[in-house]
Amino acid sequence: MFQRLLAVIASLRELFRWRTWRLVCRAFWRVLRRFICRVLHLPCPEDCRRPHREGCCFDLTPDVYKRPDPLLYAQFYLMKQGLAVTWNNPDIVVHEPNPNAPGGIGIAVPSSALQPNHPYKVRVRVWNGSFDAPAVGLPVHLSYLSFGGGTKSHAVGTRYISLGVKGSVHHPAYAVFDWLTPATAGHYCIQARLKWGDDANPNNNLGQENTDVKALQSPAVFEFLLRNDGSVQRRYAIEADAYELPKLDPCDPKTPRAKTRIEESRARWAKALATQKYGLFPIPPEWSVSFAPAALSLAPGEESVIQVSIEPKFAFTGTKSFNVHAFAIGPQGERDLAGGVTLTVTK
């Protein structure tokens, strides 16, 4: 009888060890799968998620961790959010070189007044949307396009910067490039692209500076190239508006602050959508803006010259800017921004 009892106890002990080992293996496998899902940014399967604790009201997803969000004024991203844009990029500025100035940067030069075969300094301002994660060694790539929308890109160079968190002394950060313009006279569009492997939002990393200025001679006539960089034939529509970057509101200490950063960001985004939505800045009735052609179809790799005529209907003096946008029209009527220019008339 006693020997049977010992045998039963030994069997229970072995069973307990085997059961414990299986539980340990299962727990280790769940942890390993969660780690793989987090690294590869994949949705975590239900059987490897952490079980809810009593009273827990949320489930953390695998990608909830601190990541930087390097960004600059990105027209293609902003337009997809429904916002109006200007192609006069506030984060990309061309300067004359000056060896006696800090960083060798002289006075700013409009991108519409660049000389051929001339050295310039291009300064790119980079922001971080994250309060928690910096981007040390962030690569900034600079290139230029022949003037217009969807034209070919030519690399200028790459610079590496250390971008601090939002609100720190290293925010924003600047990348400065030496650029020798092409020997052929003409207008060139400058593009800056940020490349970060673990970016919280990789869609706001491409900014473009593309402007032209002409004296009004009733009318002012501009020309730019539109190129189909796709692999299929595309239809294009040309539109224009009179949007300009708004002036910053003065800081009022009496204004009630949001409780959290998320609430503050959401409030600012909602205000931007309400006040800067695409379509809220039509051409003023006292101005005439026409295109030739206003709609066209291009084969893959084909280019076409778009002519824009701008004329006031009154005695005009000063400066006035207009943004011209080219949209690729899909088979279901969807619109995809192909590029654009900001045109300024002076008198």
Share of the chain above pLDDT 90, in %: 37
Q: The whole model's pTM is what?
A: 0.75
Q: How far apart are CA 183 and CA 98, in angstroms?
A: 21
pLDDT at 175 over 50: yes
- How do strand 335-346 and strand 211-215 relate by DSSP bridges? parallel
CB 289 within 8 A of CB 322: yes
What pLDDT band is residue 222 in, cutting at 50, 70 and 90?
A: confident
pLDDT at position 145, please?
Answer: 81
pLDDT at position 53, please?
Answer: 44
β-strand partners of 321: 344
Does residue 40 sit within a domain?
no
pLDDT at 216 over 90: no
What pLDDT band is residue 60 in, cutting at 50, 70 and 90?
A: very low
Q: How far apart are CA 143 and CA 179, in angstroms?
A: 10
Q: For residue 116, is the peptide bond before it cis, meaning its omega torsion is within 30 degrees of 0?
A: no
pLDDT at position 160, please?
Answer: 95
Does residue 81 sit within a domain?
yes
pLDDT at position 40, please?
Answer: 61
pLDDT at position 56, please?
Answer: 44
**How high is the mean pLDDT of the chain?**
81
pLDDT at 27 over 70: no
pLDDT at position 65, please?
Answer: 58
Residue 161, judged by CB atoms within 10 A of its CB (0-12, 13-18, 19+), counts as buried
CA-based angle 233:238:239, to the nearest 5?
150
Q: Residue 122: which region, alpha, beta or left (left: phi > 0; alpha: psi -120 to 50)?
A: beta
Does residue 176 sit within a domain?
yes
CATH number at residue 320: 2.60.40.2310
**Structure tokens that stand for 2 in this block:** 């006693």
What's the pLDDT tens digit per position in 260-276? Answer: 777 777 888 888 888 99
Q: How far apart are CA 210 and CA 324, in angstroms?
A: 10
Does residue 20 sit within a domain?
no
pLDDT at 54 over 70: no
Query: Mean of the pLDDT values across residues 43-61?
Result: 49
Query: Mean of the pLDDT values across residues 114-134?
Result: 90
pLDDT at 301 over 60: yes
pLDDT at position 347, please?
Answer: 82
Does residue 2 sit within a domain?
no
CB atoms within 10 A of CB 289: 18
CB 337 within 8 A of CB 79: yes
Among 115-119, 184-188, 220-224, the range scoring the smallest mean pLDDT is 184-188
**Structure tokens that stand for 257 in this block:** 């602050």
pLDDT at 85 over 90: yes
Phi, psi of 267 (to 5 degrees): -65, -40
* Dihedral, 271, 274, 276, 281 alpha carbons, nearest 10: -150
Phi, psi of 57 (to 5 degrees): -115, 10
Q: How far does CA 321 lie from the centroid of its chain?
A: 23
What pLDDT band is residue 91 in, cutting at 50, 70 and 90?
A: very high
pLDDT at position 227, please?
Answer: 87
The residue to which tokens 């060139």 are assigned: 188
pLDDT at position 55, please?
Answer: 44
CA-based angle 142:174:319, to the nearest 5?
75
What contacts 64, CB < 8 A, 6 or more positions away?
none
Q: How far apart are CA 112 and CA 110, in angstroms?
A: 5
CB 93 within 8 A of CB 113: no
Q: Which domain holds residue 214?
A: 70-249+256-346
Among 76-90, 157-171, 242-256, 270-284, the range scoring the smallest mean pLDDT is 242-256
Q: How far is CA 268 from CA 202, 257, 259, in A?
A: 21, 12, 14
Does residue 10 sit within a domain?
no
What pLDDT band is residue 240 in, cutting at 50, 70 and 90?
A: very high
pLDDT at position 266, please?
Answer: 82
pLDDT at 140 over 90: yes
Query: Mean of the pLDDT values across residues 41-45?
Result: 58
CB atoms within 10 A of CB 98: 13
Does residue 17 sit within a domain?
no
The residue to which tokens 């190239």 are assigned: 225
pLDDT at 49 over 70: no
Query: Mean of the pLDDT values across residues 307-318?
Result: 88
Does residue 328 sit within a domain?
yes
Tell me how many domains the chain contains.
1
Q: How far does CA 305 lie from the centroid of its chain?
A: 27
Query: Mean of the pLDDT values across residues 156-164?
Result: 94
**Structure tokens that stand for 173 in this block:** 């950060």
